[in-house]
Amino acid sequence: MTHPCDLSIAEAGQALRNGRFTAVELAQAYLDRIEQQNDRLYAFIDVDPEAVLNQARLADARLAEGECDHLPLLGIPIALKDVFDVAGSVTSCGSHVQDGQTATDDAVLVQRLQAAGAVLLGKVATYEFALTGPAFDQPNPPPRNPWNPDHITGGSSSGSAAAVAGGLVRCALGTDTGGSVRSPASYCGIVGLKPTYERLSRQGVFPLSDSLDHIGPLAACVADAALCFDAFAEPADAPAASQLLGQSLAGLRLGYGRDWFADDPAVDPQAVTAMDAAASQLSLLEARIEPVDLPDYDLFEAVGTVILQAEALAVHKKTLGTLPERYGRAALRNLITGAVLSPEHLAAARAMQQRLSDQMDEVLNRVDALITLTTLTPAPAFAAFTDGQPVWTPMRTFPFNLTGHPALTVPIGFSNGLPLGMQIIGKRNDEARLCQIGHAFEQSTDHSVVKPNL
């Protein structure tokens, strides 16, 4: 019999409705997993078992009253990246700067999570202020990759990815400013959905870069990610991400952005092979694969870096002046680089951002979706991150924070035992199409069913 924690959200919901187990029993199963595995993964930083079980008891009462038909997350445990405010608890953002900063109100998405009847399992780790790579001068040790604990999970939704990949939760909410949902999902062999800009509320979530920040689910499978997104998305009457799951890909035109990675000297050859195989598999599913020329990736990264650094400095300017000693070394170095940017630099970057967005719209107007690699390599080793020095991790995620287009990453294979991911990009508000494609690919391969040996 399948362990309750290994059921999909839909399967667990059906089991709750059928009385196979209660929400309390499901929550306890997850708490047991966390107790058994978290000392190795460092994913969860704040778990209150009694509060979790109290929420589960409320969910059981609602299930008994018959509320379950319109609430697919009722009784389902969900985790939150530690940048979301939960009233009465500290939003530490992985930084000593936030010591004692207790939230007075719930983030909007936490309120929606509660209204949906989901069980808040706890908070998971993030790199300091969602800024930097792994460091050891933060309040919590950086999470470990369940596939190989000597390797990172990716940032900054590091705990979210480790928790899902390690089987400690089916879905965790993260944030994505330059790829921080998609790159850790790719590195950990799970699904990550960065929705269209502002489809998920950012109110009550500590900001990094207001014009680039997105909220998104990291999940064990595409259907789980779609269900979580649908429970929280705005506006409520917009197309559901789950509405096309199971539909054929016949006739869909998928632009293949192969030039973005194939000849890059940083790319892992196994990643090129895996991505070409994924494109071939989509062709076997009757999608039409068409090579496309995408705008210059390096220009996206340069423009995005200017905007991110300028906006991040604005967020932290006051505390940098009053509490500089509480910042970690890497975070402090990262933030102060924004001080060299002038208003003219930012204005030029925003103008180029619009031009690049228009160019990406033109490409997407010719196809139903795009496909390309998520990251050019599997997860780097911790050994690469020493003394707070920055380490460049080659990804292909940043452009879609600038343009606001939705993007989904799904597993496509391995290199040296570490996962690789494919990124699927769609038109604005077309999360349903991405999930349709990702789900069809997932169901036709075994990449998502292979789990780390914990």
Answer whether residue 450 is part of any domain.
no
> Is there a single domain that holds both residue 202 and residue 281?
yes
* Same domain (yes/no): 153, 261: yes
Residue 139 resides in a domain: yes
pLDDT at 237: 77
Query: Residues 219, 190: one domain?
Result: yes
Residue 129 has a pLDDT of: 97
The answer to whether residue 454 is domain-embedded is no
Q: Which of 284, 315, 343 is the last residue of a domain?
A: 343
pLDDT of res. 387: 66
Q: Based on the domain organization, do 185 and 197 belong to the same domain?
A: yes
Listed in sequence order, the residues at least 6 apart from 70 whose beta carbon sits closer than 8 Å to its beta carbon are none
Do 25 and 154 have their domain in common?
A: yes
Q: Is the pTM of this model over 0.95?
A: yes
How far is Cα 420 from Cα 414, in angstroms, rounded to an integer? 5
* Residue that finishes a domain, picked among 312, 343, 374: 343
Q: What is the DSSP string of 384-449?
A: G--TT------BS-THHHHH---EEEEEEEEETTEEEEEEEE-STT-HHHHHHHHHHHHHHSSTTT
**Does residue 452 form part of some domain?**
no
Residue 155 located in a structural domain: yes
* Residue 125 forms part of a structural domain: yes
Residue identified by tokens 């990251």 is 375
Counted domains in the chain: 2
Q: Are residues 227 and 108 part of one domain?
A: yes
* 359 shares a domain with 281: yes
Q: Could you list the mean pLDDT of each consecutive 10-residue stretch along the chain, which spans 454 residues?
A: 94 96 98 98 98 98 85 97 97 96 97 96 97 90 97 96 98 98 98 97 98 98 98 86 98 98 98 98 98 97 97 97 94 93 97 98 98 98 79 93 98 98 98 98 94 92
Domain co-membership, 285 together with 370? yes
**Strand spans (E) along 139-190:** 171-176
**What does DSSP say about strands 77-81 and 44-46: parallel, antiparallel, or unpaired?**
unpaired
> Do both 332 and 186 map to the same domain?
no
Could you tell me the two tokens for 119?
């069980």
| Owner of token pair 């996962």 | 419
Provide the domain limits for residue 274.
6-298+344-444
CA distance 296 to 454: 40
Give the integer Cα–Cα distance in Å for 207 and 225: 23
CATH (domain of 132): 3.90.1300.10
User: Do the domain assignments include residue 449?
Assistant: no
For residues 302 and 352, the answer to whether their CB atoms sit within 8 Å is no
Active site residues: 81, 156, 180
Q: What is the pLDDT of residue 416?
A: 97
308 with 411, same domain: the answer is no
DSSP state of 132: S
State the Cα–Cα distance between residues 415 and 269, nearest whole angstrom: 9
Specify whether 210 is located in the same domain as 169.
Answer: yes
Strands 44-46 and 119-124: antiparallel
193 touches 181 (CB < 8 A):
yes
Which segments of 34-97 are extended strands (E)?
A: 44-46, 77-81
Which among 320, 399, 290, 373 is positioned nearest to 129, based on CA atoms? 320
DSSP string across 81-121: ETTB--TTSB--TTSGGGTT-B-SS--HHHHHHHHTT-EEE
Same domain, 125 and 180: yes
Say what the pLDDT of residue 309 is. 97
Q: Are 295 and 360 in contact (CB under 8 A)?
A: yes
The answer to whether position 453 is within a domain reads: no
DSSP 296: P
